Amino acid sequence: MDKGKKAAIFLDRDGVVIEEVDYLTRPDQLKLIPGSARAIARLRRAGLKVVLVTNQSGVARGYLTLQTLRAVHRLLSRQLKAQGTKLDGLYFCPHLPVQAGGKGCSCRKPGLGMIKKAQKHFHLDLSRSYFVGDTTTDTLTAQRAGCTAVLVRTGKAGRDRVYSAKPHKICKDLAAAADWIIKQD
């Protein structure tokens, strides 16, 4: 283990940090999950980098523009700042899921493109890092990256059953996940 490398908490956006909305397409639909901002603040105070990684195929589907998605993320940043915290990084994939037999992008979860960009940018040790998500896609992403997978019961709560990936830990919400992660670290 390289002592110079940092640990991170990778967070999915919808259903983990903000309320799940089927294809959030407007900033006014954004609502923080109660306790998520405090959890992010606590994780950052514990010395962990907090990085949001989110699939946003609504852009490729034409449900919203990149400009609108950026406006959503600016609002998220403002809401977090109003509660005394911020994200260290925010990465998104605007591409469609891979269709049967098709070739997809490398950034869309469970691909590791967003994770690898953050790893390089922040000099992260993925083996010391955690990924908190609400889907089996998030769990598989964590496993592929070598991170500890934490599933939260908010959002989809793992009921998507897209993959058979099993998390290392299941928590009620991001606040409970932060409690557990801080005790581990």
Active site amino acids:
12, 14
E strand intervals along 25-157? 49-55, 89-93, 130-133, 148-152
User: Which token pair is 104?
Assistant: 């997809």
Q: Which residues are 169's β-sheet partners? A: 150
Handedness of CA 161, 95, 85, 26 (dihedral sign): negative
Q: How far is CA 113 from each of CA 40, 89, 93, 126, 174, rounded to the nearest angstrom?
A: 23, 14, 9, 13, 23
